[in-house]
């Protein structure tokens, strides 16, 4: 991409919160200058960026990496669960289960898009701050709620991750019902993908080129929570990359990549291209930056900046990653690498004051 094009598509938001350290601004401006983006250009865009994340919630709270529509679906049941049991673990699990059981979401749980062979394989992780204990499952088939299986790995074994056939056997031993996870909508979307991979294979699209499948919706989801005593919990759950090689594992079930928390600091989760999050230890990086004094918003942006940097610059990045985070003070952050017109990154949270949805920051605006 030419330098002029880079400037045309690059957008960074500077939160106006007074706690942002000037040294962090200077460091990032130096990084922008390296890519040929002028300070005046950044400031002019920043002034037009409007209200972004960097919100302040009250404890207790539950947060998820979705906007208004899905945020309400996820967080209201999570909050009801928390009020009933007082358990922040119960709350984040209840929120994650909402998406896992909803066939309208095509990237989490039941109804998720399959691998290249048309088989749905699910990944999930869970972590609990007071004990620093965690559990995960990867490549799990035929079970709708992988986050609930991951919780049992955490609570009922001395392991952290179980995958594939072993994860299915473990779920079966704990009474989980085996079901077909491939919905008709997901099957049709897979068939469309399969029939259009190549014009040199034996798969042909319909003669009229028309498919009945629907547009892909949603994405991997992070559900994070902090109770009134400051105990932190989190879940990340997904059906993974659509059309992946069978057995491919992304960042979601990997502690430190798709999910990480520190009970003294806060929690973070990631969505997007899992390989990039794995090789940067993305969620761990966000929490570590918060422990060093960054706000959740700054830390999420820093993780995005790091991925761009190790890939050699903005013109080498043709994918997206998004981070959400919350610290023990109830500050919330959200940032993604890419933003598209009308498709900005969002984070939602619910606390005693009600439901809130906040727009995050994007480094690149398409």
Catalytic residues: 220
Q: For tokens 């498919």, what's the residue? A: 211
* DSSP per residue, 18-54: TT--HHHHHHHHHHHHHTT--HHHHHHHHHHS-S-S-
Are the CB atoms for 327 and 295 separated by under 8 Å?
yes
Which helix (H) or strand (E) segment holds residue 321: the answer is strand 321-327
Instruction: Give the ranges where 174-259 is alpha helix by DSSP (H).
Output: 184-195
- Which residues pair with residue 128 across a beta bridge? 133, 233
Are the CB atoms for 279 and 262 separated by under 8 Å?
no
* DSSP per residue, 143-156: -S-HHHHHHHHHHH
- Which residues pair with residue 324 across a beta bridge? 269, 334
Rounded-to-integer distance, Cα 95 and Cα 112, Å: 17
Query: Which tokens in the block code for residue 203?
Result: 């798969």
Backbone angles phi, psi at 309, to 5 degrees: -65, -45
Helices first, then strands: H and E counts in the chain: 11, 13
Measured from the Cβ of residue 130, the count of other Cβ atoms closer than 10 Å reads: 14
Rounded-to-integer distance, Cα 114 and Cα 213, Å: 14
Q: For tokens 């619910």, what's the residue? A: 350
- CA distance to 272, 338, 355, 365, per residue, from 359 (Å): 17, 13, 14, 14
């Amino acid at each position: 991409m030419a330098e002029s094009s880079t400037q045309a598509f690059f957008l960074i938001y500077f939160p106006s919160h007074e706690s942002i350290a000037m040294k962090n601004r200077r460091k990032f401006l130096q990084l922008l200058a390296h890519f040929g983006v002028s300070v005046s250009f950044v400031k002019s865009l920043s002034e037009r960026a409007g209200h972004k994340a960097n919100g302040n919630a009250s404890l207790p709270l539950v947060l998820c990496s979705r906007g208004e529509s899905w945020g309400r679906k996820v967080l209201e049941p999570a909050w009801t669960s928390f009020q009933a049991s007082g358990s922040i673990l119960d709350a984040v699990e209840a929120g994650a289960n909402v998406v896992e059981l909803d066939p309208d979401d095509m990237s989490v749980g039941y109804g998720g898009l399959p691998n290249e062979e048309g088989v749905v394989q699910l990944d999930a992780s869970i972590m609990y701050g007071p004990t620093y204990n965690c559990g995960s499952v990867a490549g799990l088939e035929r079970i709708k709620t992988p986050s609930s299986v991951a919780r049992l790995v955490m609570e009922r074994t001395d392991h952290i991750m179980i995958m594939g056939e072993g994860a299915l056997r473990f779920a079966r031993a704990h009474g989980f019902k085996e079901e077909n996870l491939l919905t008709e909508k997901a099957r049709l979307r897979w068939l469309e993908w399969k029939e259009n991979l190549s014009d040199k294979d034996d798969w042909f699209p319909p003669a009229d080129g028309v498919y009945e499948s629907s547009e892909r919706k949603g994405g991997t989801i992070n559900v994070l929570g902090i109770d009134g005593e400051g105990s932190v919990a989190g879940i990340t759950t997904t059906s993974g990359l659509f059309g992946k090689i069978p057995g491919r594992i992304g960042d979601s079930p990997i502690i430190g990549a798709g999910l990480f928390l520190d009970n003294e600091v806060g929690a973070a989760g990631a969505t997007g291209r899992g390989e990039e999050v794995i090789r940067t230890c993305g969620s761990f990086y966000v929490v570590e930056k918060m422990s060093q004094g960054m706000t959740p918003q700054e830390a999420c942006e820093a993780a995005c900046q790091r991925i761009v940097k190790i890939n050699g610059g903005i013109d080498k990045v043709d994918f997206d990653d998004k981070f959400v985070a919350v610290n023990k003070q109830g500050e919330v952050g959200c940032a993604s690498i890419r933003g598209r017109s009308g498709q900005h990154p969002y984070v939602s949270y619910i606390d005693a004051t009600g439901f809130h949805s906040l727009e995050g920051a994007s480094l690149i605006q398409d």
